Structures are given as structure tokens and as C-alpha cells.
Amino acid sequence: MKAIVWTKYGSPDGLHLQEVEKPTPKDNEILVKIRATTVTAGDCEMRRLQLPLMLSFPMRLYAGLIKPTRIPILGQELAGDVTAVGPNVTSFKIGDPVFGVTGFKFGAYAEYICLKANPNETQGALALKPANLSYEEAAAVPTAGFEALHFLRQAAVQPEQKVLVFGAGGSIGTFAVQLAHTFGAEVTAVDSAPKLAMLRALGADHVIDYAQQDFTQNGETYDVIIDVVGKKGFARRLKSLNPDGRYFLANAGLSHLLRDWWTSKTSGKKVVIGSSSQSKEDLLFLKDLIEAGKIKPVIDERRFSLAQIPEAHRYAETGRKIGNIAITVGTDDGSRTRRFDSFGG
């Protein structure tokens, strides 16, 4: 089978299309013919190994000290069809369309992957694909959907609470805006100008172009701030939180950990860091919302094939992507994928 093999940390030049051995499922595994995968900001950070200090060393230990020898193939999200099942598998059958996430195994930048039929939370999550999504759309759901859901659940968002999403137009942000809107919150979405119309269509009540306006200077305060950007200015943004508000950080560094501790000690505000787990229950929860028409993944209009994954990584790093980058694997040309501008709001 073909796969994008990861040979070195750093630029996308370390990603190569190669012929590798097709895997065979063990007794409790299924073989999935991958029809779509994604390139996320997280994939790019992993490739560069440019992670917060507290993560980069453990990740290097896990993946390989000098080269990523223990993770030969990157990619966490996928959608595809089950083409073989191990003898102990009862939860899936050949022909089932599935979507999910591989956990720390990675390996979704390939034509086939073997996955545990009933993984634990470090081994990913897998479920039948939502009936109303293309493979490309379905592949873009799990990791960002989990993260956004995790934040909104921890915030226990109530109807009419004010939620601000900082970096709303990317993978996590587009799910966070839709979930907050679905939970009845008044949503403010902050991102660059080309993404604001899409964010309104997803349910944002207010949109702010961060190049034109600094939301910390607009006199408003919020019950919940979801920050997926995490650049400098964090202390200023914290001031826009209500006295008992919750501030969620998707990519926290050591300074944020200290700020988390200090803020919680000295005020009613709480800074929350840490990632979601990857559970089948949450995947099914997201699937139900998708099939009920309440949320849907936003896919950038630029499409890539498996061979073009290095190019997709470069594109992800331009900052121009809208929502998620989908990769079509095999013969599916993605023609059933609708763009964000067909979203009903």
C-alpha cells in the first residue's frame, strides 16, 4: 500500500510517499481502507516537534530521540471502510463505513490501517460514520470536536452565557462556535476577516476581525473564553473574563500553568488547560449532533490527495486555511463534500 512515511523532525520535506507493507488485523482488530484523513495544526506541531517544553521531551522519547523511528506514519484522523475483521471482533463488520481517531498510534496518512475494534482512550476511538457526511467531512470531526466538546462541557455553558472563541475559524474554533451556539450561549467569534462570514453562518452572534479590533479593549466581558491561539497578550485577555469566568487554553505553555495556579488562588476566575480524552461515547455524541443537523465540520475548499500531504502541511502553516484540511485517499474525489457556504446556520 501507499503511505506518507515520516523520516525526520522539521519541515514537510521529511514526509515521503512510499510503498509500505499492508497491515493484517490481529484477532481484536479491524482493517480500514482509509478514504480520507486530515492535516491539523497538531500534526504540523508534531512533525516539527515544536511543542511546549513539557510535551516536546516526552514526545521525543516516545517517537524517537533523533528521528521519528517509532512513529513511521503520521496522521490521527480518518474515515473509511472496514475491509477485514479479526476473529474476535463483533462490533464492526466488513463494509461498515467508519470514522475515528488513532490515538498515539498515528498512521492515518496511508491507504490502510489496522485499529482495535474496542480501543481504550489512548488507543483512539472509532464509530460508524455519520450518514449525512462525506468521508472527508467525517475525518475532520474527532480531534477538534473532542477538544471543543471537552471545553464546553467543563465550562458547563448555560443558555445566554457569553462565550468568546479566540481563533474561531480553525479546527477547534469552528466546532466550539457551533457547540456553544447549540448549547444556547451568546457567541463571539474572533479571527481574521476572510473567516467571519463563515463564522456567522455557523451561529456566531458577534464576530471580530482581530487585525482591526482588540476584543480586550471593547469593554465587554465574557463568562467563558476559549483560546486556541495562545500567543502573547494572555494576561490582557484574562481581564475580559467575568469574575467567576472560565478561560480554556488549547495550547498551553509552562507560563500558562503558572498563571492557571496563580489566577485560581487569587480570584474566582479559573484558567483551564489540558486536552480531551478520545472516547467512543464522545464520538457518538458528536455523531448524534451531526446527524441532527446541529453541527458540521467546516472543510477548506483546497483539497489534497495522499501524495500531496507535504503540500497540505505547507498550506496548513500559511494561516490561510479555513476550518479543516481534508485529504482524499484513494479514488474518492471528495465531490460529495459540501463547503461551509452551504451550511444552513
Ligand X SMILES: NC(=O)c1ccc[n+]([C@@H]2O[C@H](COP(=O)([O-])OP(=O)(O)OC[C@H]3O[C@@H](n4cnc5c(N)ncnc54)[C@H](OP(=O)(O)O)[C@@H]3O)[C@@H](O)[C@H]2O)c1
Cell 516526552 sits on residue: 58
Q: Residue 177, interface with ligand X (CB under 6 A)?
A: no
Of the residues 17, 18, 23, 45, which one makes contact with ligand X according to CB under 6 A? 45
Residue type, position 101, single letter? V
Axis-axis angle for helices 142-155, 171-182 (nearest 10): 50
Residue 218 Cα to chain centre, angstroms: 30
Distance CA 245, CA 291 (A): 32
Of the residues 5, 15, 31, 41, which one makes contact with ligand X according to CB under 6 A? 41
Q: Could you tell me the smallest distance in angstroms from the CB atom of residue 31 to ligand X?
A: 25
Angle at the Cα of 70 (from 66 to 74), degrees rounded to 5? 100
Q: Residue 166, interface with ligand X (CB under 6 A)?
A: yes
Strand ordering across the sheet containing 270-272: 206-209, 186-191, 162-166, 222-227, 241-249, 270-272
Of the residues 7, 118, 192, 277, which one makes contact with ligand X according to CB under 6 A? 192
What CA–CA distances, in Å, run from 119 to 96, 115, 125, 189, 282?
Answer: 17, 8, 6, 35, 13
Q: Residue 42, interface with ligand X (CB under 6 A)?
A: yes
Q: Could you tell me the smallest distance in angstroms from the CB atom of residue 250 to ligand X?
A: 3
Residues 219-248 that bind ligand X (CB under 6 A): 228-229, 231
Torsion angle of C-alpha atoms 176, 178, 180, 184, degrees rounded to 10 = 180
Choose between 232 and 265: whose C-beta lies nearer to ligand X.
232
Choose between 161 and 324: whose C-beta lies nearer to ligand X.
324
Distance CA 323, CA 168 (A): 9
Distance CA 5, CA 242 (A): 47
Residue type, position 309, single letter? I
Among the listed residues 302, 293, 305, the one whose alpha carbon sits nearest the alpha carbon of residue 342? 293
Q: Residue 203, interface with ligand X (CB under 6 A)?
A: no
Q: Could you tell me the smallest distance in angstroms from the CB atom of residue 95 to ligand X?
A: 29
Using the contact rule CB under 6 A, the part of the chain among 37-45, 150-158, 239-247, 282-290 near ligand X is: 37-45
Residues 89-128 as x/- pattern, contact with ligand X by CB under 6 A: ----------------------------------------
β-strand partners of 246? 224, 270
Q: Residue 334, interface with ligand X (CB under 6 A)?
A: no
Q: Could you tell me the smallest distance in angstroms from the CB atom of residue 141 to ligand X?
A: 10
Q: Could you tell me the smallest distance in angstroms from the CB atom of residue 93 to ligand X?
A: 29
Q: Could you tell me the smallest distance in angstroms from the CB atom of residue 331 to ligand X?
A: 27
Distance CA 251, CA 273 (A): 8
Q: Could you tell me the smallest distance in angstroms from the CB atom of residue 1 to ligand X?
A: 26
Residues 122-151 as x/- pattern, contact with ligand X by CB under 6 A: ---------------------xx--x----
The residues binding ligand X (CB under 6 A) are 40-42, 45, 143-144, 147, 166-167, 169-173, 190-192, 210, 228-229, 231, 250-251, 275, 319
